[in-house]
Amino acid sequence: MYSLLLFFVVFLSGNKQIKGITLLKENPVRTFSNMNMEKLRNENVQKLMSEKVSSERFDSSNVRFVGNWPFGSSNAMEVDSARNIAFCGSGGGIYILDVSEPSNPVKVSDIRTRGVVEGLFYEESTQRLFGAIYEGGLEIWDVYDAESPQKMSLGRTLYDVYDVEVSENYAYVADLDSGLVVIDVSTPSNPTEVGLCGVPGRARSVALSGDYAYVADADSGLVVIDVSTPSNPTEVGLCGAPGRARSVALSGDYAYVASVDSGLVVIDVSTPSNPTEVGSFDTPATVQAVEVSGDYAYVAGYGGLWVVNISNLEDPVEEGYYNTFWVTDLAVSGFYVYVADADSGLVVIDVSAPSNPTKEGSSFNTPGQTYSVAVSGSFAYMANWTEGLRVIDVSNPSNPTELGVFNTPDHAVSVAVSENYAYVADGDSGLVVIDVSTPSNPIGVGLCGTHSANDVEVSGDYAYVADGDSGLVVIDVSTPSNPTGVGLCGTHYANDVEVSGDYAYVADLDSGLVVIDVSTPSNPTEVGLCGVPGRARSVALSGDYAYVADWGYGLVIIDISTPSNPTDVGLWDNPNGTVIVAVSGNYAYVADVWENLWLIDISDPSSPREVDFCNPPGWVTSVFVLGNYAYVTVGYAGLQIYENLLSSGIELKDKNKERVLKITQNLFLKSFQVQVNGVDLPITLNVYDVTGRIMEEKTIYNSSPITIGSNLKPGIYFINVKGFESVKVTKLR
């Protein structure tokens, strides 16, 4: 008789996220008494912990992060001048680029983080890259081998991280609400918070010089903090620079602050306890970033890059200007400024002639905001605001890979796939038809103009477009190269559409759920209407029910068994309001405006109830469910893939005998329930800690669930259950 050894982690912190069970991954089952605990700890616990920390902010007990293709708008930039390598933070990832030919940046590799990259710091002496990851904390990467970067840190659970600087084994992190956080990184695999100094407002950026850290406070100006004792950082000075400080750079005795409202502000910090403004240059548009080199400050933001001559600090003057869309960060190396542009990605600007800054060759285009995803076979098709259609290979969900891109004329906001074609709702351009028979080379084949295409669904030979200005537009796509509008049914503001049989169901922001008879495509006719308490943003269908994401309230469930008389039968109230809904089986996946993805049990449509939630790294723009996987697009963090463990059963079966072990977590009591079937009862269940001590013993008398773990402290534990033979254990979260 063998025993099934389970491995799980109990998290009982006060955090909003509640973690769940984890099992040893792909390990043969062994009897507990014969196990070498130290070997187990070395081989498996460390592996688990590295995986756990990377995703603990975003996972929950029954919804497990699987993988991501996280790239989006560029927010951060660093350069290794010696190796001619640029690090471009793009959404939830980092592109590592060879810029030895500045006119032609070439991708070397990429890094995938678990949140949006807001700031980067590169330490040339160690060839380590430090990432300030919004909602993800501090990540440390060894980039000695640029083609194969290695993650060194287990992460920190800081939340609103915006910038990081490193000096002498300490990382100084600008955390929006906390202030300046000091982290000991002498052991990169175990970064440890050692000090904290709050600021009057919100910390957006940090720069270091000697024993002082200079923090750009979005509300208060420049805050000077003495960090001579890292464990006791202390505020010593404040200069209330006008406007909202976003970034700070240092040169000599001066700090240069990029202010949203005031442009470039020059502050004398020769006496740290008395920082004093000495000059300023008011840029024509808002700025986000600043760097200084020699007699020039490079100030950038919405509208471009300004080269400012600072030889006279009391009267900085514009020397040159380069027009680009929206610069979020920059780095200076020699005569080149490397710009992170939210729209264009990496743009290299030659400033050898400061009065005439010039773009060097081509940019390295990074994606913009992702708005929608559809999955067909092994491919995910993403509608990207600035880049159009992106095709991602998701055959390995833990490592999605980009295959092809097609730039649409306007702004891609939704996508549907049918056979070899992708149909993109492209804003003011209308419907764009793209041949994706070769995923690595998508080709545009047709266009049908509408006023403001928000969503698209395809059924048979017709595409149904929810157009904000016009209502429901029916387009004949039987000839994909010649899509032709054939019918129109006006609504107030059509935001989303689903089609089933002879009916289209439109989520109309102002009206609620509008039911339209499309049995005659040339004459779509409204036949039913069901208002919602707030504003209908999204709709999903399952059986006789429509599930409407109500922006002001939550999830509204509507009986559509009689299309001419749709009737609301259930409501899951979410005070945050919901914007996205997708349905699969007995579960609705509902995203609210506060970056939560909720799992709702809809087995009883009249009484929907939440069973779990997770926190994707940003605001959710769409959800597509296929099998047990939810493909989630996150505005600035690309594609995230989650597995619904409830949907997959969370149970282990012995294939040779009808024996089943099922484990679930009670989210609120922070305990676990164990249920067994097909074994001789009674049997004993033991819970051990990592030293082998028995922490809890339960006898199972019948097939009813029993509760364990309610009295356990946070930590790593093992379950030993007799009665299961040759079970291959898989990892659960």
The pLDDT score that the predictor gives to residue 31 is: 28
For residue 672, is it within any domain?
A: yes
For residues 100 and 170, membership in a common domain is answered with yes
CA separation, residue 654 to residues 718, 724, 728 (Å): 20, 7, 9
Residues 173 and 124 in one domain: yes
Are 182 and 317 contained in the same domain? yes
Q: Using alpha carbons only, what angle is made at residue 345 by residues 631 and 126, rounded to the nearest 5 degrees?
A: 95
Residue 688 has pLDDT above 70, yes or no: no
pLDDT given for residue 23 in this prediction: 26
My answer on whether 185 and 237 are in the same domain is yes
Per-residue pLDDT, averaged over 66-91, amounts to: 94
| Residue 695 forms part of a structural domain | yes
- Asked whether the predicted pLDDT for residue 552 surpasses 60, the reply is yes
Residue partners of 417: CB distance under 8 A and separation at least 6? 374, 375, 376, 381, 423, 436, 458
**Rounded to whole angstroms, how far apart are CA atoms 259 and 305?**
14
* Overall average pLDDT of the 62-69 stretch: 83
Q: Are residues 28 and 145 in the same domain?
A: no
* DSSP symbol at 730: -
pLDDT at 649 over 70: no
Give a yes or no: residue 249 inside a domain.
yes
Which of 304, 331, 359 lies at the terminal end of a domain, its last residue? Answer: 359
Residue 407 CB coordination number (10 Å): 14
Half-sphere exposure of 22 (CA within 13 A, CB side): 26
Tokens of 137: 């904390």
Q: Examine the fold and report which residue of 359, 392, 407 is the final residue of a domain before the chain moves on.
A: 359
Q: Say which CATH number the domain at 123 has.
A: 2.130.10.10
User: Please, which pLDDT band fits residue 387 given cuts at 50, 70 and 90?
Assistant: confident
Q: What is the pLDDT of residue 28?
A: 27
Q: Are strands 336-341 and 345-350 parallel, antiparallel or unpaired?
A: antiparallel
Contacts of 105-109 spanning 24+ positions with Cβ under 8 A? 105/346, 105/348, 105/362, 105/363, 105/364, 106/364, 107/364, 108/146, 108/147, 109/146, 109/147, 109/148, 109/149
Quick check: helix, strand or coil at residue 37?
A: helix
Are 14 and 136 contained in the same domain? no
CATH code for the domain in which residue 675 is found: 2.60.40
Considering the domain architecture, whether residues 346 and 210 belong to the same structural domain is answered as yes
Model pTM score: 0.79
Of 93-107, 284-298, 645-659, which gets the smallest average pLDDT? 645-659
- Facing residues of 447 across strands? 432
Question: Which are the contacts of 305, defined by CB distance < 8 A and separation ≥ 6?
Answer: 298, 299, 321, 322, 324, 327, 330, 337, 339, 349, 357
pLDDT tens sequence across 256-283: 999 988 899 999 999 999 999 999 999 9
Average pLDDT over residues 188-195: 91
Q: By mean pLDDT, which of 1-10, 269-278, 361-370, 447-456 is the weakest?
A: 1-10
What pLDDT score does 46 carry? 37
**511-520, 639-648, 691-700: which is most confident:** 511-520
Residues 23 and 91 reside in one and the same domain: no
Tokens at 222, concatenated: 């420049």
In the chain, the number of structural domains is 2
Per-residue model confidence as pLDDT tens digits over 149-184:
999 986 555 668 999 999 999 999 999 989 999 999
pLDDT-derived band at 224, boundaries 50, 70, 90: very high
| Tens digit of each residue's pLDDT (9 = 90 or more) over 237-263 | 999 867 789 999 999 999 999 998 889
Give the lowest-confidence range in 7-21, 200-214, 309-323.
7-21
pLDDT band for position 665 (cuts 50, 70, 90): low
- Does any domain span residue 148? yes
Rg (the chain; Cα; Å): 28
The per-residue pLDDT for range 102-131, each reduced to its tens digit, is: 999 999 999 999 889 999 999 999 999 999
In sequence order, what are the beta bridge partners of 505?
498, 515
Give the per-residue pLDDT at 614: 82
pLDDT at 730 over 50: no
Domain match, 175 and 324 both: yes
Region 211-232 average pLDDT: 96
CB 314 within 8 A of CB 46: no
First to last CA, the chain: 28
Interstrand relation of 587-592 and 296-301 (parallel, antiparallel or unpaired) = unpaired
Among residues 245, 243, 246, 226, the alpha carbon closest in space to that of 234 is found at 226
Within a domain: 214: yes
198 shares a domain with 83? yes
Question: How far apart (Å, rounded) are the C-alpha atoms in residues 371 and 591?
Answer: 13
More confident residue, 691 or 512: 512
pLDDT, tens digit, for every residue of 568-627? 999 999 878 899 999 999 999 999 987 789 999 999 999 999 888 888 888 899 999 998
136 band by pLDDT with thresholds 50, 70 and 90: confident
d(CA 626, CA 375): 7
Among 37-46, 174-183, 377-386, the minimum mean pLDDT is found in 37-46
Find the domain containing 247 and state its range. 77-104+116-359
Q: Is there a single domain that holds both residue 145 and residue 23?
A: no
What band does 703 get if pLDDT is binned at 50, 70 and 90?
A: confident
Q: How far does CA 74 lie from the centroid of its chain?
A: 14
| DSSP string over 153-178 | ------SSEEEEEEETTEEEEEETTT
Q: What is the dihedral of CA 696, 702, 703, 707, to 10 degrees?
A: -30
Domain boundary among 342, 359, 376: 359
Q: Please provide the DSSP assignment of 552-592 as one string.
A: TSEEEEEE-SSTTS-EEEEEEE-TT-EEEEEEETTEEEEEE
- Asked whether the CA dihedral 158, 596, 76, 357 is positive or negative, the reply is negative
Is the pLDDT reported for residue 339 higher than 70?
Answer: yes
| Structural domain includes residue 675 | yes
Strand partners, 701: none
pLDDT at 52: 37
Q: How sure is the predictor about 660, in pLDDT bands with cuts at 50, 70 and 90?
A: low
At 37, the pLDDT band (50, 70, 90 cuts) reads very low
Contact 233, 226 (CB under 8 A): yes
Taking all residues of the chain, what is their mean pLDDT, rounded to a whole number?
A: 85
Q: What is the pLDDT of residue 29?
A: 28
The reported pLDDT for the residue numbered 117 is 95
Residue 377 placed within a domain: no
Residues 151 and 201 in one domain: yes
Q: Is residue 505 included in any domain, yes or no?
A: no
Question: What is the predicted pLDDT for the residue at 374?
Answer: 96
Residue 651's pLDDT is 42
